[in-house]
Amino acid sequence: MFEKTGIPSEEMIMGKFPSIERINKGAVAVVECYKEIPCNPCQTACKFGAIIIGEDINNIPKLYADKCTGCAVCLSKCPGLSIMVVDGSKLEETVEIKLPYEFVPLPKEGQIIKGLNREGEYITDVKVLKVLNPKSFDRTPLVTIEVDRKYLYEIRNIQVEV
Amino acid sequence: MKQAELVIIGGGPAGLCAAVSAARSGAKVLIIERNKDLGGQLLKQTHMFFGSEKQYASLRGIDIPAILISELEKYKERVEIIKEATVVGVFEDGVITVLEKEENYFKIAPKALVLATGAYEKYLSFPNNDLPGIYGAGAVQTLMNVHGVKPGNKVLMVGAGNIGLIVSYQLMQAGVKVEAILDAAPKIGGYLVHASKVRRMGVPILTSHTVKEAIGKEELEKAVISQVDEKFSPIEGSEKTLDVDVMCISVGLTPLNELLAMRGCKMKYIPQLGGLVPLRNENYETSVENLFVAGDATGVEEASAAMVEGFLAGLCAAEKIGYRLDNFEEMKNDYLKQLEELRSGPAGKHILSGIEQIVL
């Protein structure tokens, strides 16, 4: 189905998430790159060797969650915008999710916006914690949102009302 | 008649890289570009490129021409650029004819040529496909990303290849609603990361669908789409009408290389490469001596491959006319290896099955 719709299955998604224990320890990347394409900037961007593609640049990137610091440098380097960072270490009830977001207007810190799933459907309201857009991100800003823990595996996008 | 060492026809990704590579080798280079600016399709590509660092991956296409042009400036004493000029003929004696700014017509006798003319868009037949509001994807990109003009408000994207997916995303960035992306094929043709990116913006991707007709008086008002069966025939009763004022046709590209046929290069029809392409050797030299090709003109691929082909063809064309770098073999092998890498995955298999049929 994925190849017909662009929507990954639950099983595919779960296969990309680090364990909940790891997520609860602190920020970690989720690399949702499911299909071999000739591309390796994520590996080049990661100074910790936490994303490995290897000799053949068509390989699917493999995340080594124990090496990942959650620094999020890879998020704005991935041409497919397929990477996010999740952090379950801050609060009991919520998780923090950092997403690349290349649209205007950018949300403001503290703003309540819509959280969308991988089909673009509204799931729940989320709170914007941080918006980063330095020059080094090359016009791919990162938005950190606070999300009810039960939607950890569902939220993948945001919508900012104009 | 103007004399030249190496003429490069086309200043897009392949042509610019060929120029850099040949000038670096020591050859005098003359680039002939049809438009006002160098860069070709790169000038419209606001998204980040795939590939590896060597092909400028992760940079945005729009930022790559400046890098290549500044590289060319290192050799400016042997680089000449003629813009707004079209090569209209390549003749048996090697002479080419050029029309500059639609008034100045002249001949050039180059020692070698690299043809990097790119590709043109395929179109789709359906009733009323000439209504205003129905564009090729390239035109939509030019309007939006070069001139800052919104093509309309509600778009039906026809074609779920990389261009269709990327242009859909760019339309949404410009604040235009994309109603749907459809494709007659049963599977999405483009990279699935691009597909997921537009899907999570809420845009449905309708595979096994086609356009049945466009409706409108003065301009496009509606599009009728329908499902197709495995033989690509429309399924009766599956029609749906969408209110759209823009239809964007993105159903593939065809190599633009009539000049090669005119010169007598051996050509072959290779569907995997988009149409008629020249036979060529490992150095990208065609069946006509000292006539090289690079980029989409030799088979439609991603811009990353076009750039590497340009570097390789420029290197080899310069070598052919006497400018051989000390590390020629090393450079050549590196470019060949990069091309092999770019084509070695599932996406490249199809391309390789075409290339196998044209290598001399």
Q: What are the extents of the domains in chain A?
A: 2-159
Q: Which of A41, A58, A102 sits opposite B345 (nearest CB)?
A: A58
Any CB–CB contact under 8 A between B198 and chain A?
yes
Residue B347 has pLDDT above 90, yes or no: no
Lowest mean pLDDT among A71-85, B118-132, B181-195, B338-352: B338-352
Residue B60 lies in a domain: yes
**Are B273 and B226 part of one and the same domain?**
no
**Are B215 and B280 part of one and the same domain?**
no
CATH code at position B232 = 3.50.50.60
Instruction: Please report the pLDDT score of residue A62 as a whole number.
Output: 98
**Are B138 and B64 part of one and the same domain?**
no
Instruction: Please report the pLDDT score of residue A39 as a whole number.
Output: 96
Interface test with A, best of B165, B178, B188, B196 (most A CBs within 10 A): B196
Round the average pLDDT of chain A to a whole number and report it.
97
Residue B37 lies in a domain: yes
**Are B115 and B19 part of one and the same domain?**
yes
| Chain A residues whose beta carbon lies within 8 Å of the beta carbon of residue B230 | none
ipTM: 0.97
pLDDT confidence bin for B272, thresholds 50/70/90: very high
Domain C-terminal end among B249, B273, B306: B249
**Are B85 and B103 part of one and the same domain?**
yes
Q: What is the pLDDT of residues B155-184, one digit of tens each?
A: 999 999 999 999 999 999 999 999 999 999
**Are B187 and B166 part of one and the same domain?**
yes
Interface residue ranges in chain A relative to chain B, Cβ cutoff 8 Å:
2-8, 32-41, 44-45, 56-58, 77-82, 102-104, 116-121, 138-140, 156-157
Domain C-terminal end among B249, B284, B306: B249
Instruction: Please report the pLDDT score of residue B346 as a whole number.
Output: 86
Domain C-terminal end among B249, B275, B303: B249
Instruction: Please report the pLDDT score of residue B232 as a whole number.
Output: 94
pLDDT confidence bin for B290, thresholds 50/70/90: very high
Helix (H, G, I), strand (E, B) or coil at B81: strand
**Are B9 and B112 part of one and the same domain?**
yes
Q: What is the pLDDT of residues A103-162, one digit of tens each?
A: 999 999 999 999 999 999 999 999 999 999 999 999 999 999 999 999 999 999 999 987
**Are B33 and B113 part of one and the same domain?**
yes
Number of domains into which chain B is organized: 2
Any CB–CB contact under 8 A between B49 and chain A?
yes
Q: What is the pLDDT of residues B57-95, one digit of tens each?
A: 999 999 999 999 999 999 999 999 999 999 999 999 999
Residue B360 lies in a domain: no
State what percent of residues in chain A have pLDDT above 70: 100
CA distance B346 to chain A (A): 7
CA dihedral A136, B49, B348, B330 (to 10 degrees): -70
**Are B128 and B101 part of one and the same domain?**
no
Range of the domain at B62: 2-120+253-355
Instruction: Please report the pLDDT score of residue B318 as a whole number.
Output: 98
Closest by Cα among A73, A87, A145, A76 to A116: A145
Residue type, B188: I
pLDDT confidence bin for A6, thresholds 50/70/90: very high
**Are B112 and B260 part of one and the same domain?**
yes
**Are B236 and B272 part of one and the same domain?**
no
Residue B218 has pLDDT above 80, yes or no: yes
